[in-house]
Each structure stands twice: as structure tokens, then as C-alpha cells.
Amino acid sequence: MSHEERDAPAAARESAAVFKVQFEDGGDAFTVGPDEALLHAAARAGIELPSSCRNGTCRTCMCQLVSGEVGYKIRWPGLLPEEKAAGWILPCIAHAQSDLVLRRDRPRIDWRHQRDQ
Ligand code: FES
């Protein structure tokens, strides 16, 4: 058995992982694999989320992660360190690494005000 053949079952298990994504308000829920962006998985389930660029730059899709873990395949998603620390994510490029709970509404945060204090 070649090295590639030994790794195939592990790769298949990993790609078969499916996570559940639900909204804090108890409404819609959908499933997503680790290689699919949250925005795309939501659309596949018939759930429309705000979006524009779909590449992590415009921030139209920005929403808050209430629980769970996401990762990004791009090195610098368009979020400030403070925003990432506060749980903000970009669903158009975020990949689930666990089951997730998202907050649909975007609270208004004035980072300038916090920076000036
Ligand atoms: S749609 Fe532009 S950052 Fe997500």
C-alpha cells in the first residue's frame, strides 16, 4: 500500500465532517463541511445572508460568532484584531471548524470611540 493510499481514508473522513450552523434567534439552521464557506453553505440551504464581494474585503457579510470555531484560508481576512477578538467573522470566507451559533443582527460598534478612550 502506498503512502497515498494510507492517507486516503483520513482525507475522506476529514472531508466528510459536517458541522451544524444555527442562528442565536433559533430560526434557520444549515450544515457545512470544513471546505465550504459559511455563506455558500447558507445559500445552498436557501438562507440568504448579506454579501457583496464574497472574498473577505467589503465586510458586508460580517456577523458575530456566538459559539464555536471558524478558520480562514486567506491569511488576512478583512477584520481588525479587536473585531476578531470580539467574535466578528466574515461568513463569505469563514470555514467552520466545529458546530457554530451565529448572531444574525450586527450591533453597531464605534471602534473610534473605544480607541479614543
Ligand atoms: S461579502 Fe464582502 S467581506 Fe464577505
- Residue 113: the pLDDT is 53
Confidence label for 107 from pLDDT (cuts 50, 70 and 90): low
Confidence label for 31 from pLDDT (cuts 50, 70 and 90): very high
pTM: 0.78
Q: Where are the domains of the chain?
A: 19-107
Strands 100-103 and 88-89, bridge-based pairing: unpaired
> pLDDT tens digits for 37-73?
999 999 999 999 999 999 999 999 999 999 999 999 9
Chain mean pLDDT for the chain: 83
- Give the ligand 1 atom nearest the CA of 61: 4
Ligand 1 proximity of 40 Cβ (cutoff 6 Å): no
Closest CA to 51 of 39, 35, 34, 33: 39
- Residue 108: the pLDDT is 59
> Cα torsion at 76, 79, 84, 88 (round to 10°)?
-130
- Residue 109: the pLDDT is 56
What fold does the segment set 19-107 form as a domain? Ubiquitin-like (UB roll) (3.10.20)
Q: Over 80: is that where the pLDDT of 3 sits?
A: no
Question: Who wins on pLDDT, 47 or 74?
Answer: 47
Q: Which residues contact 58 (CB under 8 A, 6 or more apart)?
A: 52, 78
Confidence label for 6 from pLDDT (cuts 50, 70 and 90): very low
Q: How many CB atoms lie within 10 A of CB 105?
A: 10
CA of residue 57 to ligand 1 center, whole Å: 6
Ligand 1 proximity of 49 Cβ (cutoff 6 Å): no
Contact, 113 vs 34, CB < 8 A?
no
